[in-house]
Chain A
Amino acid sequence: MALKLPIFLDNHSTTPVDPRVVEAMLPTFTAEFGNAASRNHAFGWAAEKAVETARGQIAALIGADPKEIVFTSGATESDNLALKGVAHMYRDKGDHIITLQTEHKAVLDSGKALEREGFRVTYLPVQRDGLVDLGDLEAAMGGPNADKTVLVSIMHANNEIGVLQPLAEIGRLCHQRGVIFHTDAVQAAGKVPIDVRSMNVDLMSLSAHKMYGPKGVGALYVRRKNPRVRLVAEMDGGGHERGMRSGTLNVPGIVGFGKAAEIAAAGMVEEAARLTAMRERLKARFLDALPEVYLNGHATERLPGNLNLSFAYVEGESLLMGINDIAVSSGSACTSASLEPSYVLKALGVGDELAHTSIRFGIGRFNTDEEIDYVASRVIQTVTRLREMSPLWEMFQEGIDLKSVQWTGH
């Protein structure tokens, strides 16, 4: 089969909608277009039934009860609702929240917003491999914060480096202390097994478009028992979703989300094995062909489809420019609006000079071995070409320690 270009290898940013998901969604635009909140006619009943089916499919993916799924517009809303909703509900109980420096901006900036309201937020560092040190977490929950910590928010899989935090251990530590545990599982859900009961998770953010569902729909799992978690709603309105999230339900999106969850659950074991094999194949090709390539994040405690590498002495944006028929992303400052390299890599202790050379490969359901081989060849060829014109590579070859050079920063 001929290779189709460009190749999409950026499956952490979003994923294509699975054709089976599109199929499931189609009737909801035309014949079954009702408002799920219309309780007095058949159109409403059909929509409500479709939504409840989806709720069940999503709950099954994470081991929850369907009644614990609250639909939102996406993970950013879910993260905001979890952090602000808990902080505002339990403010009489405590004012301290713990999260990680490597969290998604939706969590970090919700934390910043709460700080402006007077809450205290601890942003824990991570270890060199990207994982949280459980001792640090325990320490942050103890001492003067022992009775003041109301929420821990630690993501399941990181969106840049794909590392998987030890949710079950974190959940156990939280529940021993009566602290609510939220996790942003946007990247992990549908990719690795999740069980909110055994992992002691109280709140979980989910997004459809990261698991081959449509954009614009997400969910927040909110535990109903042991403990029953309560939230202050962020938006006022008709009191949908048990009063936690007002607004007419996005029925097409929700139906697609449900189908995507069902497909992910059914094929997870096979898909994880296949993506892991592709990732290892890609990594091996690079490490065999190129010196000075560094893996960012834990080697095995990571998402099957995630490979984040620094190609030392080659700036990330220039590498992306050279492989313009392949969609990947870089932690280089030049690819962001802020001109700052990745804060996630910084938190791992990766120096800025290596952060500028990082590339994230996100392998997904629809990638093939042929694509992986093509990507490997193109990247190797481009890195080699750019190193030939890199003054840093030249210095490295001459044995000059770049750290000893007096640079003229700007």
Chain B
Amino acid sequence: MAYSDKVIDHYSNPRNVGALPKDDANVGTGVVGAPECGDVMKLQIKVDESGVIEDAKFKTFGCGSAIASSSLATEWVKGKTVEEALQIRNTDIVRELNLPPIKIHCSVLAEDAIRAALADYQKKQATVAERVSA
């Protein structure tokens, strides 16, 4: 199978590989996929006081398209608000990376990872708010 130039670029020079402190209240972590399915993505976001995603990191076990999808996802969420990041669709990732049909699940997983990270962040914030009001 031939990979698109953009997939090869993200695979060879992945953006934002790494980890953020997962216990930090401003950090949301999403882990999606399963080892026996051949892909696991971990995507983390760090949100500043104004509600803007100031940093994002990922680690991915998966094929080149999975690595590229998650790398692209971290690029895209940075600088967006939580609400804006929720608007990112897997079809946008498919289009940007020219993924073939057999690799569409990689983009779905990346969207899931973004949502899981945002949900984790929102849950943490709700807990903090509860604690403050109590």
Interface residues of A (CB under 8 A from B): 313-315, 317-318, 321-322, 332-334, 337, 339, 341, 351-353, 356, 388-394, 402, 407-410
Contacts and interface: CB of A to CB of B under 8 A. Distances in A.
B61 interface: yes
Interface in B90-134: 102, 105, 108-109, 112
A392 B66 CA distance: 14
27 contacts: A315-B38, A315-B61, A315-B63, A317-B63, A318-B11, A318-B62, A318-B63, A321-B3, A333-B37, A337-B102, A351-B36, A352-B37, A389-B14, A389-B58, A389-B60, A389-B67, A390-B60, A391-B40, A392-B61, A394-B42, A394-B59, A407-B34, A408-B31, A408-B34, A409-B33, A409-B36, A410-B32
A311 B105 CA distance: 23
Interface residues of B, number: 32
Nearest to B14: A389
B19 A394 contact: yes
A349 B84 CA distance: 45
A310 B17 CA distance: 24
A313 B61 contact: yes
Contacts of A390: 59-61
A353 B64 contact: no
Interface of B: 3, 8, 11, 14, 17, 19, 31-42, 58-64, 66-67, 102, 105, 108-109, 112
Contact of B39 (A315, A388, A393, A394): A315
- List the 9 closest pairs (A to B, CB-CB), nearest first: A407-B34, A353-B35, A352-B36, A391-B42, A317-B63, A391-B59, A356-B38, A409-B34, A334-B63
Contacts of B33: 407-410
B54 to A, nearest CB: 21
A326 to B, nearest CB: 15
B41 A391 contact: yes
A341 B38 CA distance: 9
Contacts of A393: 61
> What is the predominant secondary structure among interface residues of chain B facing chain A?
mixed
A353 B62 CA distance: 11
Nearest to A351: B36
A388 B42 CA distance: 13
Contacts of A352: 35-38
Given A351-B36, A389-B59, 7 more contacts: A314-B61, A317-B64, A352-B37, A353-B35, A356-B38, A392-B61, A409-B37
A360 to B, nearest CB: 17
B44 to A, nearest CB: 10
A391 B64 contact: no
Contacts of B37: 333, 352, 409-410
Nearest to B3: A321
A356 B34 CA distance: 11
A143 to B, nearest CB: 35
Contacts of A394: 19, 42, 59
Contacts of B3: 321
* Among B3, B14, B58, B63: residue with most chain A CB under 10 A: B63
A234 B38 CA distance: 40
A315 B62 contact: yes
Given A315-B38, A409-B34, A321 B61 contact: no
Contacts of B61: 313-315, 390-393
A334 B17 contact: no
Contact of A388 (B17, B34, B64, B102): B17
Contact of B35 (A318, A322, A337, A402): A402
A285 B13 CA distance: 27
B60 A332 contact: no
Contacts of B34: 407-410
* Among A321, A334, A356, A391: residue with most chain B CB under 10 A: A391
A407 B11 contact: no
Contact of B38 (A321, A333, A337, A389): A333
A337 B60 CA distance: 22
Contacts of B112: 408, 410
Contacts of A313: 61
B68 to A, nearest CB: 10
A314 B60 CA distance: 9
A119 B105 CA distance: 39
Contacts of B8: 321
A390 B35 CA distance: 11
A410 B63 contact: no
A356 B66 CA distance: 14
B64 A407 contact: no
Nearest to A387: B61
Contacts of B62: 315, 318, 334
* Among B42, B60, B61, B105: residue with most chain A CB under 10 A: B61
Contacts of B11: 318, 321-322
A149 to B, nearest CB: 36
A394 B66 CA distance: 17
